Structure 1
C-alpha cells in the first residue's frame, strides 16, 4: 500500500506488521487513510518428471496439455474469486487426478501385486496445518481426503483402511478399485514384472520405478501460500512402500514465505527433506527462491543418485521449476491470466525471466 508521501509497506507481509508499528508509521508520515492492496495471485502445477522426450504422439501431447491447461484455468478462476490457496491447490490437483494420463487418481500405476495404492498431501502455509493420506485404494480423489484430514481431524496422516473408514465417516463415497485400472498402466506392470523375473533393470520411462506425480502450489489474494501433491507411487512397488508425496517436508511443504511440491525418486526426497529444505533456505537463510530450489533439486539430490523435479513459489509470486530429468510436465498462470504449459526439457515454459508481479488495489 502507498501513502500520501510515497511510503510503501510490503503488501505481502501485511499480516506480519504489528498494529502499533503500523500506527506509528501512519502517524509519522501523516497518512490520513489507507487503501487495501491485494496480492496478484499465482498458481503453478506439475504432472511429473522423467524421461519425457519428443516421441510422444501428437494426440497424447494434445490431451496432456489440455488437461494441464484446464487445471490451471480451474484453479485460477478460484484465485480470482478470492478463494484461499488450499482450495485452489485441491481444485487444480483434482483435475489431474481425474485424468488417466497422469500417475495420480485415475491413472495411477500398479503395485507389484497388481493393486493401486494412492498417496496425497496438502499444506496450508498460513497456518502450517497439513493433511495426508497414504496407501488408499478406494478414494477417487486422494487430495480431497488429505484436505479433510487437515480440516476435520487432529491428525496429519491417515493410511490404508483407516483413511478409508474416515472418508466414509464424513460422507465421502468410496469407488470400486477397478475405477483406477487402465490398460496402459496394467501393461507397464506386466513389462516390469518380466524385467524383474529376468533380473533386468527397467528399460524405459513407462516401467521406471520413480515415474510421475502431480502437484500444485498457489499464492492467493491474501498473500497466503499452499502446496499439495498426489501420486500413484512407483510402478511395481512392494510391501506397502510410501514415497515422499504424502510426507510433509519431503514432497510437500508450505509456510508463510514458500510453497513446494516435488516429483521424482521419493526415497531421495525423503532423505533430504527436500521441500522443507528449499523453504528453509528461502525463509530462514534468505536465499533467493530459484537458487534455493536449484541447490536441492539439481545439486543435492543428484549427488546422492536421485533425480526428479519440483515446483516452488514464494510470497512475492516468484516461481522456480527446477528438474534434472529429460523433461517435466509443468505449468503456471499469473497476473495476466494466461496459462503456460511445457513438457520437454528444451521447451521454454515462460519462467526463465518472469516479470515481478504487479500489485492491484481493491
Structure 2
C-alpha cells in the first residue's frame, strides 16, 4: 500500500435561480467563475462542514470563531497540496482527514451516535479524471474513513464495502484503526441521550473507555441542540485540470439499525467527472438519494449547458426543496467555477481559488 504524507493542518455570480418566487424561497449561493479560458485558475477548492439551522445568537462568538478557524485550516491544508502541483484527489483526502479528526464535525472523531450507542461512519471519494470511486459504510473502527474509501477505490475491484467486511479489508491494507473511544465526545453522547428520551427509546450503556459522565448540570451546560447535518466534504480542481470530490459523515443522531445515507452512494452525496463537475453534498440523505443530487448537478452542467451556480441552485433550491428535503452542496468545474447552494439558514463553507482570497462563511447572507 502506498503511504501518502500530508502537511500538518494549520491552527458570486448571482444565479438566475437565486430567487425562486414560486416557492417563496430566497436561495443562498456563491460562485466564482473565470471570465475566459485564459482566466482559469491553476487550482481551486471548496469545503463544507454541514448545513442546518444556524444563527449567531444561539451559536455564540467563541463557537463561531472556532468553526471559522477550522474552515480556514482546511483551506490551508488543501491549498498547500494544490499549490505544489498535487492532485485534486490528494487534496480532497488530506482535507477530509483533517475534518474527520476535528471533534467539532460529525465525521470521524466527534461523530454522532446511533440509537445503539455506536459511531457508524460513512465516506466516499471520486476521481473525476477516471470516474473511479470508493465508498465505505457503517464502519466503526477506522480512524479516517475517507482513507479507507480511497483504499477501496485503488486496491480493490469494488466501489463500496460495508461494515465488518470494510473493516477487515482496511486492516489487511494497513489503514489506521482506532478504538471506539477515539470517536467519543460528550456533546454527541448527551445529544443522543436527549433524543432517545424524547422518543421514548431505551438508553444504551455508556461506551467502554469513555470518561466518567459529568454531573447533570455540567452535561446540560455543554449541550447545544443538534440542528445541523454535520457531514464534511471537499471538492478540488488541480493544475492538470482534474476534479475530485470526497465526503464523510457519522450520519444522524439516534439513527436506526443499519441506516445508510447519501454520502457513500456515488451520484447522491458524492460525484466527480472531468466532463462536468465535482460535487459534495450535506443534508437529509434520504432526499439526496431519491434525487441523485450530486449527479443531477453535474448533468445540468454537462447536458443543459448551465453554469455551475445555476445548476446547483436549480437542484437545491427547486428540486430538493419541492421534494421536502433540506441541505446543500459545494461544487467545482474543470474550468474553475466554484459554487455552493443551500436551502437552510446556514452552512459551514469555505472556498479558495489560486490567486484569490479565502472566503469562509457560515450564515445565510454571507458571500
Structure 1 contact 38–222 (Cα < 8 Å) conserved: no
Deviations 1:270-327 (A, max 9, x none): 0000000100110122111111111111111111111000001111111111000010
Give the superposition deviation at 1:138: 0.6
Give the superposition deviation at 1:58: 1.9
Report the 3-state secondary structure (helix = DSSP H, G, I; strand = E; otherwise coil) of the residue aligned with 1:105: coil
Is 2:173 the counterpart of 1:170? yes
Q: Which residue of 1 aligns with 2:98?
A: 95
Give the superposition deviation at 1:339: 2.2
Over the aligned positions, Cα root-mean-square deviation in angstroms equals: 1.8
Number of aligned residue pairs: 309
| TM-score normalised to structure 1 length | 0.82
Instruction: Show structure 1 runs of 5+ residues with no match.
Output: 1-9, 13-36, 199-203, 349-362
Give the superposition deviation at 1:194: 1.3
Instruction: Show structure 2 runs of 5+ residues with no match.
Output: 1-35, 202-222
1:1-362 matches, cutoff 5 A: 39-54=41-56, 55-197=58-200, 206-208=225-227, 211-256=229-274, 257-336=276-355, 338-348=357-367
Structure 1 contact 123–253 (Cα < 8 Å) conserved: yes
Deviations 1:40-61 (A, max 9, x none): 2001000000001112122222
Report the 3-state secondary structure (helix = DSSP H, G, I; strand = E; otherwise coil) of the residue aligned with 1:295: helix
Structure 1 contact 38–221 (Cα < 8 Å) conserved: no
Residues 302 and 88 (structure 1), Cα distance of their counterparts in 2 relative to 1, 3 Å cut: same
Any runs of at least 4 consecutive aligned residues in structure 1 with deviations exceeding 6 A, and if so which?
A: none
Structure 2 contact 41–354 (Cα < 8 Å) conserved: no
C-alpha separation between the residues in 2 aligned to 1:91 and 1:155? Answer: 22
Structure 1 contact 138–174 (Cα < 8 Å) conserved: yes
Structure 1 contact 93–229 (Cα < 8 Å) conserved: yes
Structure 2 contact 41–353 (Cα < 8 Å) conserved: no
The structure with higher relative contact order (CA 8 Å, sep 6+) is 2
Structure 2 contact 122–250 (Cα < 8 Å) conserved: yes
Q: Which residue of 2 aligns with 1:27?
A: none
Report the 3-state secondary structure (helix = DSSP H, G, I; strand = E; otherwise coil) of the residue aligned with 2:335: coil
| TM-score normalised to structure 2 length | 0.81
Structure 1 contact 100–182 (Cα < 8 Å) conserved: yes
Residues 194 and 277 (structure 1), Cα distance of their counterparts in 2 relative to 1, 3 Å cut: same
Deviations 1:178-212 (A, max 9, x none): 111100000111111111119xxxxx98345x722
C-alpha separation between the residues in 2 aligned to 1:285 and 1:205? Answer: 43
C-alpha separation between the residues in 2 aligned to 1:274 and 1:264? Answer: 11
Q: Which residue of 2 aligns with 1:28?
A: none
C-alpha separation between the residues in 2 aligned to 1:58 and 1:342? Answer: 14
Report the 3-state secondary structure (helix = DSSP H, G, I; strand = E; otherwise coil) of the residue aligned with 1:185: helix
C-alpha separation between the residues in 1 aligned to 2:233 and 2:108? Answer: 12
